Chains A and B, each alone.
Chain A
Amino acid sequence: DGGITQSPKYLFRKEGQNVTLSCEQNLNHDAMYWYRQDPGQGLRLIYYSQIVNDFQKGDIAEGYSVSREKKESFPLTVTSAQKNPTAFYLCASSLGRRPGEQYFGPGTRLTVT
């Protein structure tokens, strides 16, 4: 089955610890995205990547980092510098050659205490 997988579904961390969220796709898509979703605020773009070894900051990149070493993988690290990391994180991908359908993963709910 083609799609996007995110793991884990739920993640708990202590304040001050870095944590890495996994995102893998087997759709052969060029573009990948990370969004943060908070209640009542919609989806806010953290980082996106149009091609391997290249990525751009989104609207709320502070306190986050990413890498894109493989086409299939786009992990997101939530660093201790992120002031309010508790949120629902969504990974997405799209073909990339022209704006079109974005496929979303099931999300990871991160809770930092």
Chain B
Amino acid sequence: QQQVKQSPQSLIVQKGGISIINCAYENTAFDYFPWYQQFPGKGPALLIAIRPDVSEKKEGRFTISFNKSAKQFSLHIMDSQPGDSATYFCAACSSGTYKYIFGTGTRLKVLA
């Protein structure tokens, strides 16, 4: 019940295309859903996050869509650029435990 399932494992997108990464969870106590971007050999950095009281959040080219009833959330990267090539992790956390549960990651490659 503590797992966060992330798909796909890898993704190749043409420059200018839309990248979509999906995550699903079981624990309804989760109340914070961040997405992290990680470049090789570096620590992850927060990209965008959402709380369950909204269904969508947009920051620049990055959008989180959140479906509370389906227990799913997704990251959309619009106008994908080669510089977006990185590994993306979704995560979930609940106020009760402060434990962040991470998905297994999606390796995104944007072709120039």
Mark A residues whose CB is within 8 Å of B.
4, 31, 33, 35, 40-45, 48, 50, 58, 90, 92, 94, 96, 98-107, 109
Contact = CB atoms under 8 A, between A and B. Distances in A.
B95 A43 contact: no
B50 to A, nearest CB: 12
A52 B45 CA distance: 25
A98 B34 contact: no
Contacts of B100: 33, 45, 99, 102
Interface stretch (B12-20, B66-74, B102-110): B102-110
B61 interface: no
A107 B99 contact: no
What range describes how many residues of B lie at the interface? 20 to 34
Contacts, number: 58
B46 A101 contact: yes
A43 B98 contact: no
Interface in B2-32: 6, 9, 31-32
Q: Among the interface residues A90, A96, A99, A105, which one has the most CB atoms of the partner chain B within 10 A? A: A99
A102 B34 contact: yes
Nearest to B103: A42
A31 B99 contact: no
Nearest to A96: B98
B60 interface: no
Nearest to B9: A40
